[in-house]
Chain A
């Protein structure tokens, strides 16, 4: 992927982009999760057909402007600035927006307000709702090993295994002494940036559910059957209450579905994309 900087009113943000040679590939914007991931096998795969654009949200990675983000609405206005800067306007080609977890929630916050700026949404294990009977598990203050248990169906996945190896590293500075700051810093920044958006209310917007009818574009909701962070009831609720949505529950995957089932996710996006393109 090619890295660049994009100037926005709240600061310069990092951007990664990859696509097929030549003009005319449909734009696909990937909105990352709390982890701030930018390089994924699924995105490499999709870049064969799509102009894949991955903006790093303010506060993550090397993107500036984190202090200007105090909640989902600030992210929506930032995303509008990014779309404008990329020339993905109301009249220009509208992007398919793919978001994982926090990114899926942000995609919905954008689409409830500005449905005409997107061609369609793919939401992978999205957060954003609070369900009394199926609350989202606590992600803050967890050790990497505890997180791995929630995020992966297969604990032997290389990333899950690495998280277990970091057993000693927790949100508890009393135990962080052996970890060099270079290793701590990206995760530290990512969690702080996530807290700015989703500490309270915890990973949801109480108003979002009442606004779902505003999302007039097609939506594909993808859920990992073994997600230990976000209960499947969230994906089911979105699929039931969004006006034009379909639900895919993927076996052998938990919250980090894009890492565990990259080819399957890419295939689902490919099948869904023409649906989104046809309805605009």
Chain B
């Protein structure tokens, strides 16, 4: 079992008079640079603190033109973290590959972070959220093709001696020859976030990467999703390693259940009612007809549609309570999901610095040790060491 502290870096203090979506068209005049500057430095401190608290790593992710998450370039944040920490993993979950042209930019920047951090990067690759296709004007009907081509190019750039020429439908590069090369050979552990699309699961299973369930759904949706992922691995002829899956969930720990709810609730609703609206916009062609039914099945339970605290708790949209309650609910949930990575969101919505710090400390001191005892597994080994190497990579000669 591995534990990660995930940060979205949300904007706090969105004008109460504004009631529109937090995405794409949320006017950037509502962003106050003085507020933002303080938030970035506070959030970096919260991420850095995870190392001394004993987390296996931290996660950052990429979103554009929104108030929900202020990391248009998670690579810049990861680069700062690489210098400020020494031992934990830094997971960028991920770079939205279709938005990078040429995608060798990702091969370069990920290798940079891996070099600066001394081989601590986890390389996440993602299709990008629906809103990003509006913000970038990249054709959503090409999202899957571009993701596939970019992934193949990046992995080839890491595993095949350069220079070589790359020609595919969306990307043509005469000389692929990125400097630097990653410290981790043949390449860093790869994580792929997914929202239940069959194509994504099959892709992750085929390459023996790790599948990260995109959050804010009822626990039953994740149960189905991770079961489908294990089935996809089985269809590829192997049993999924628990480290091949990860569950992203908001967590809040306080001394008692009552105190936890009292301190946390308003900040959670700021997240649900102010920052989530607009996140689910689905541009045309973004989801295949084949996956549409499955995505729609989960849509009804999306957190955006939840108005009631009991529903939040019962559906495990967030794990909130005393150390005992949180431990108990996590043991039960992890057991049901079969995941080997827990990606906790310890700062959510407008949760202030003092409460976030205490939440992280309580979780690390009172919950994490009990979960590690409950689900023993080597946390120091990387995923690549834990499961058989992908066939494609096994064929590649080692780089000189």
Residues of A within 8 A of B (CB): 70, 140-141, 171-177, 181, 184-185, 188-189, 191-196, 199-200, 202
Q: What 0/1 readout, one digit per residue, does chain B (202-226) give for beta carbons within 8 Å of chain A?
A: 0000000000000000000000000
Residues of B within 8 A of A (CB): 133-134, 137-142, 278-285, 289, 292-293, 295-296, 299-300, 302, 304-305
User: Which residues from chain A contact B285 at a C-beta distance below 8 Å?
Assistant: 191-193, 195-196, 199
Q: Cβ of B295 and Cβ of A173 under 8 Å apart?
A: yes
Q: Cβ of B289 and Cβ of A200 under 8 Å apart?
A: no
Q: Cβ of B138 and Cβ of A141 under 8 Å apart?
A: no
Q: Cβ of B299 and Cβ of A174 under 8 Å apart?
A: yes
For residue B128, give the distance in angstroms from its CB to the closest CB of chain A: 14
Q: What residue in chain B is nearest A197 (Cβ atoms)?
A: B141
Residue among B140, B278, B284, B292 with max Cβ neighbours from chain A (10 Å): B284
The 9 A-B residue pairs with the shortest CB-CB distance in the complex, in nearest-first order: A192-B285, A191-B284, A177-B300, A174-B280, A195-B284, A199-B139, A173-B299, A200-B137, A196-B141
Q: Cβ of B139 and Cβ of A195 under 8 Å apart?
A: yes
Q: Cβ of A192 and Cβ of B141 under 8 Å apart?
A: yes
Q: List 19 A-B contacts (CB under 8 A).
A: A140-B283, A140-B284, A141-B281, A171-B282, A171-B283, A172-B280, A173-B296, A174-B279, A174-B280, A174-B304, A177-B300, A177-B305, A184-B292, A184-B296, A188-B292, A189-B289, A195-B141, A196-B285, A199-B139
Q: Cβ of B296 and Cβ of A195 under 8 Å apart?
A: no
Q: What residue in chain A is nearest B288 (Cβ atoms)?
A: A192
- The number of residue pairs between A and B whose CB atoms lie closer than 8 Å in the complex comes to 75
- Report whether over half of chain A's contact residues are helix, strand or loop; otherwise say mixed: helix
For residue A183, give the distance in angstroms from its CB to the closest CB of chain B: 11
Q: Cβ of A199 and Cβ of B140 under 8 Å apart?
A: yes
For residue A206, give the distance in angstroms from its CB to the closest CB of chain B: 14
For residue B157, give the distance in angstroms from its CB to the closest CB of chain A: 25
For residue B127, give the distance in angstroms from its CB to the closest CB of chain A: 15
Q: Cβ of B282 and Cβ of A196 under 8 Å apart?
A: no
Partner of A185, one of B138, B292, B302: B292
In the bound assembly, the distance between CA atoms of A140 and B130 in angstroms comes to 12
User: Which residues from chain B contact A195 at a C-beta distance below 8 Å?
Assistant: 139-141, 283-285
Q: What residue in chain A is nearest B170 (Cβ atoms)?
A: A70
Q: Cβ of A181 and Cβ of B281 under 8 Å apart?
A: no
User: Which residues from chain B contact A141 at a C-beta distance below 8 Å?
Assistant: 134, 281, 283
User: Which residues from chain B contact A171 at a C-beta distance below 8 Å?
Assistant: 281-284
Q: Cβ of A199 and Cβ of B289 under 8 Å apart?
A: no
For residue A67, give the distance in angstroms from its CB to the closest CB of chain B: 9
Q: Cβ of A172 and Cβ of B141 under 8 Å apart?
A: no
Q: What residue in chain A is nearest B302 (Cβ atoms)?
A: A174
Q: Cβ of A188 and Cβ of B284 under 8 Å apart?
A: yes
Partner of B141, one of A181, A199, A202: A199
For residue A127, give the distance in angstroms from its CB to the closest CB of chain B: 16
For residue B146, give the distance in angstroms from its CB to the closest CB of chain A: 12
Partner of A174, one of B142, B289, B292, B305: B305
In the bound assembly, the distance between CA atoms of A172 and B283 in angstroms comes to 9
In the bound assembly, the distance between CA atoms of A64 and B299 in angstroms comes to 28
User: Which residues from chain B contact A184 at a C-beta distance below 8 Å?
Assistant: 292, 296
Q: What residue in chain A is nearest B145 (Cβ atoms)?
A: A67
User: Which residues from chain A contact B134 at a C-beta distance below 8 Å?
Assistant: 140-141
In the bound assembly, the distance between CA atoms of A233 and B295 in angstroms comes to 41
User: Which residues from chain A contact B295 at a C-beta distance below 8 Å?
Assistant: 173
For residue A200, give the distance in angstroms from its CB to the closest CB of chain B: 4
User: Which residues from chain A contact B139 at a C-beta distance below 8 Å?
Assistant: 195-196, 199-200
Partner of A199, one of B282, B284, B305: B284
Q: What residue in chain A is nearest B282 (Cβ atoms)?
A: A173
User: Which residues from chain A contact B279 at a C-beta distance below 8 Å?
Assistant: 174
